[in-house]
Amino acid sequence: MSFRSGFIAVIGRPNVGKSTLMNAILGQKIAIVSPKAQTTRKAQLGILTLENAQLVFVDTPGMNRPRQPLDTYMLNTAHNALYEADVVLWLVDVSTPPGGGDKHIAALLSEMPERKPIVLGMNKSDLLRPAQVLAHTDAYRALVPSAQWMLTSATRRDNLDKLIQILVSELPEGDALYPEDHVTESTLREMAAELVREAALYHLQQEVPHGVNVEIEEFNEENPALVQIDAVIHVEKDAHKAIVIGRGGQMLKQIGIQARKSIEDLLEGTQVNLRLFVRVTPDWRSDERRVRGFGYEE
Ligand SMILES: Nc1nc2c(ncn2[C@@H]2O[C@H](COP(=O)(O)OP(=O)(O)OP(=O)(O)O)[C@@H](O)[C@H]2O)c(=O)[nH]1
Ligand SMILES: [Mg+2]
């Protein structure tokens, strides 16, 4: 039996469930998830090694029209993953009909210089009303007529095995690219920063969470029974700092409790002492130099 392996770029509009799907397939939380669009900012690798194949998923930021340097970085990240992949997994939200963003992605796929297999994942099938099944699935399939496709629900884990089988069938033959026990290339430090940002996305509203960036200043494992983590939450405005701290520090406390719990899960139950600090880095998302300074550079 021949072994197959390769990179699978998971692309699509924001909020369609790319990160949720990758985590569900891996059975492990690699990428943060939130009900708000534009959650993923950097490419994240998720590696699934099976008996006959190794699938290296590249979760990407949702594709959107860029308005400022951070958006441009995010769109470039998705484009790079797309161009470098062996297989493209285009995820859509099948509970709504295709919109302008989907048509834009379809055009991008059809203009790719190198022909590569595209798999259409029609996600959020649990939200699809029976009367809409045919109309929506036909409309999406028409955008990539030659692609294999599957209806999935990442949250209910419906059809994920079938989707994996399709992806394996499209991968080229080849040896494993990573050791079989590797699940990601992200460091614990990077993942801890993301989990603090996830908690901020969960608790904050409107524009505030989108202007949050998290930096880990201290990650000290000297005491194996209690890991000390200091994280700085950067916000764009003084008013946002007041909101993140909240009355009597209540908001920051809630963010801290949730983030600490998820970091402890990540560290398989090791206790964590998490200290959060809030700093204003004025309008950093529109400042190319600061965007790069935060590590958003190719
Ligand atoms: N009902 C339902 N909700 C889903 C499904 N998959 C994901 N979601 C929800 O959709 C929201 C967005 O999920 P994410 O995984 O963060 O979406 P994403 O495509 O990675 O978003 P960006 O990183 O912003 O591009 C979350 O609230 C998920 O719980 C699904 O199959 N069914
Ligand atoms: Mg995501």
Domain that holds residue 263: 188-293
CA–centroid distance, 290 to ligand 1, in Å, is 28
If asked whether residues 17 and 153 sit together in one domain, one would say yes
Residues with beta carbon inside 6 Å of ligand 1? 14-20, 33-35, 37-40, 61-62, 123-124, 126-127, 153-155
Judge residue 250's burial from the number of C-beta atoms within 10 Å of its C-beta, 0-12 exposed, 13-18 middle, 19 or more buried. Answer: exposed
Contact 170, 87 (CB under 8 A): yes
Query: For residue 113, is pLDDT > 90?
Result: no
If asked whether residues 251 and 287 sit together in one domain, one would say yes
pLDDT at 245: 98
| Residue count (the chain) | 298
Mean pLDDT of 211-229: 97
Final residue of a structural domain among 170, 199, 216: 170
pLDDT at 173: 98
* Probe residue for ligand 1, chosen from 11, 33, 94, 212 as the CB with the greatest number of ligand atoms within 8 Å: 33
* pLDDT class of 298 with cuts at 50, 70, 90: confident
d(CA 184, CA 58): 10
If asked whether residues 161 and 256 sit together in one domain, one would say no
Task: Output the residue whose Cα is nearest ligand 1's atom 14.
Answer: 17
**Mean pLDDT taken over the chain:** 97
Query: For residue 214, is pLDDT > 90?
Result: yes
Percentage of the chain lying above the pLDDT 70 cut: 100
- Residues 6 or more apart whose CB falls under 8 angstroms from that of 93 comprise 13, 15, 16, 17, 123, 124, 127
Percentage of the chain lying above the pLDDT 90 cut: 98
Counting from 1 in the atom list of ligand 1, the atom nearest the Cα of 37 is 24
pLDDT at 234: 98
Q: Which listed ligand is nearest to 17 at the C-alpha?
A: 1
Tens-place pLDDT, residues 238-288: 999 999 999 999 999 999 999 999 999 999 999 999 999 999 999 999 999
Final residue of a structural domain among 141, 170, 199: 170
d(CA 248, CA 264): 26
Q: What is the CATH number of the domain that holds 66?
A: 3.40.50.300
d(CA 37, CA 19): 12
Task: Output the residue whose Cα is nearest ligand 1's atom 30.
Answer: 124
d(CA 174, CA 257): 44
| DSSP single-letter state for residue 193 | H
* pLDDT class of 153 with cuts at 50, 70, 90: very high
d(CA 204, CA 35): 12
Structure-token pair, residue 24: 């569900």
Query: For residue 228, is pLDDT > 90?
Result: yes
Mean pLDDT of 89-110: 97
Residue 228 placed within a domain:
yes
Residue 298 placed within a domain:
no
- Three-class secondary structure of residue 21 per DSSP: helix
Q: What is the CATH number of the domain that holds 203?
A: 3.30.300.20
If asked whether residues 249 and 286 sit together in one domain, one would say yes
pLDDT at 115: 86
pLDDT at 114: 83
Query: For residue 1, is pLDDT > 80?
Result: no
Task: Output the residue whose Cα is nearest ligand 1's atom 13.
Answer: 17
Query: How many CB atoms neighbour CB 249 within 10 A?
Result: 11
Mean pLDDT of 26-44: 96
If asked whether residues 197 and 98 sit together in one domain, one would say no
* Probe residue for ligand 1, chosen from 13, 15, 92 as the CB with the greatest number of ligand atoms within 8 Å: 15
pLDDT at 147: 97
How, if at all, do strands 4-11 and 53-59 pair? parallel
If asked whether residues 162 and 227 sit together in one domain, one would say no
Contact 16, 62 (CB under 8 A): yes
Number of domains comprising the chain: 2
pLDDT at 84: 97
* pLDDT class of 111 with cuts at 50, 70, 90: very high
Tens-place pLDDT, residues 82-94: 999 999 999 999 9
Tens-place pLDDT, residues 164-206: 999 999 999 999 999 999 999 999 999 999 999 999 999 999 9
Contact 164, 48 (CB under 8 A): yes
